Amino acid sequence: MAFLKFVGKTCGFVGYVLQTACITHCTFEYVGDFVMCSGPSMEPTLESNNILFTEHVTPRFQRLRRGDIVIAKSPSNPKQNICKRITALPGDRVRSNFPKRSQVVPRGHVWLEGDNSDNSADSRVYGPVPEGLIRSRVVCRVWPLDKITSLTQY
């Protein structure tokens, strides 16, 4: 009898842990999550080891705007995520480094640039980025605590 009670409580606990894990996974996958920024490409706006809160809803509904800071898969290295600012939307004319000419951002793409243009590999190097590579939009910096700031535009 005590064994059955133990098994029942264990199954209840395991069920609770699984529910919590599923809710946590869905929240971080579809609603928002935390990202640690590394590298100098977004300085002075963001510095290495800043922790950002990002949301996943805006990119899914294609509601991105010029000036938004986004996290995306790198077009040149899909194993790496990049943090850049949207500087141009579909239909906008931009100037790229390679090839050295102006071009129009095609439909379904955005132009991403780092705030530190002297130290940023971005759309000026690899061209327009498909919107499908954008994973999330940065909402605010949450670490370090003395620099908690909203990074969204209104």
Q: Which residues are catalytic?
A: 41, 84
pLDDT digits (tens, 9 = 90+) for 113-136: 888 888 888 888 888 899 889 989
The domain segmentation of the chain, as residue ranges, is: 32-150
Interval 61-92: pLDDT, tens: 778 888 888 999 888 888 888 889 999 999 88
At residue 55, what are phi and psi to the nearest 5 degrees?
-120, 150
Whole-model pTM?
Answer: 0.75
* Closest of 131, 86, 90, 95 to residue 107, by C-alpha: 90
- What topology does CATH give the domain 32-150? Umud Fragment, subunit A (2.10.109)
Peptide linkage before 106 cis (omega within 30 of 0):
no
Band of residue 154 on the pLDDT scale cut at 50, 70, 90: very low
The pLDDT value recorded for residue 25 is: 79
